[in-house]
Amino acid sequence: MLPVSWSAESFADLEQILGYIAERNPAAADRLLAISAETAERLSEHPYLYRPGRVAGTREGVIHPNYIIVYRVGPSVIDIMSVLHARQAYPPG
């Protein structure tokens, strides 16, 4: 079982998404937060559960039909790198 680490960027991404949703539907924001936490916990036990990412060395987990968690499996930790809206341009550039 590997520990999961949220980068400052990924945490900020999630906070921004939750804030936007909470303005319109607080219950939906609470559900998305719970789903995000459950997805991160699942990664700890099954780091290769989700598809390979569009950026080499990453993986992408769908946490909701509209949101993707991008992470990298390291030798001693799983790094959550970002949380994106499915329509967001990714990878950047």
pLDDT digits (tens, 9 = 90+) for 29-68: 999 999 999 999 999 999 999 999 989 999 999 998 899 9
Residue 91 lies in a domain: no
Residue 93 lies in a domain: no
The token pair at 69 is 């968690």
Handedness of CA 87, 68, 77, 8 (dihedral sign): positive
Residue 48 belongs to domain with CATH number: 3.30.2310.20
Q: First and final CA of the chain: distance in angstroms? A: 34
Residue 92 lies in a domain: no
Say what the pTM is: 0.88
What is the DSSP secondary structure assignment for residue 62, as one 8-state letter? E
Residue ranges making up the domain that contains 37 = 4-85
- Where would I find the H helices in 1-93? 8-24, 26-45
Residue 14 lies in a domain: yes
Number of domains in the chain: 1
